[in-house]
Amino acid sequence: NAVLPVIFALLPNKTEQKYRRLIEKVSELCPLWNPKYIMMDFEKASINSFADKFTTTTNPSLMSGCFFHLKNSIQRKVQVSNLTI
């Protein structure tokens, strides 16, 4: 039970168009790429783009959010709201 990061991408912005382009490029380089599990941060654009490509009835990839990014997001919200944990 381990996670193996296989893609790191520095994108100019966080739009669905950029994530779709990333997926297209990776698919060109690795035409047999068919992930069973996808873990990512909680960016809506990335979730939508990967879901459109990989969560179909013939390819039910399981997508999950990264706990590290969730924890950071909660910490930022707590700080902005002047709350304490």
Cβ-count burial of 47 within 10 angstroms (0-12 exposed, 13-18 middle, 19+ buried)? middle
What whole-number percentage of the chain has pLDDT above 90?
33
Number of structural domains found in the chain: 1
Residue 35 is predicted with a pLDDT of: 84
Q: Do the domain assignments include residue 29?
A: yes
Calculate the average pLDDT of the chain.
86
Q: Do the domain assignments include residue 9?
A: no
pLDDT category of residue 38 using cuts at 50, 70 and 90:
confident
Q: Residue written as tokens 């168009």? A: 17
pLDDT of 58 strictly over 80: no
Q: At what angle do helices 44-54 and 16-29 cross, to 10 degrees?
A: 40
Q: Do the domain assignments include residue 62?
A: yes
Q: Do the domain assignments include residue 45?
A: yes
The domain of 31 spans 16-80
Q: Do the domain assignments include residue 20?
A: yes
5-33 pLDDT, tens digit each: 888 889 999 999 999 999 999 999 999 88
Q: Do the domain assignments include residue 42?
A: yes
Q: Do the domain assignments include residue 55?
A: yes
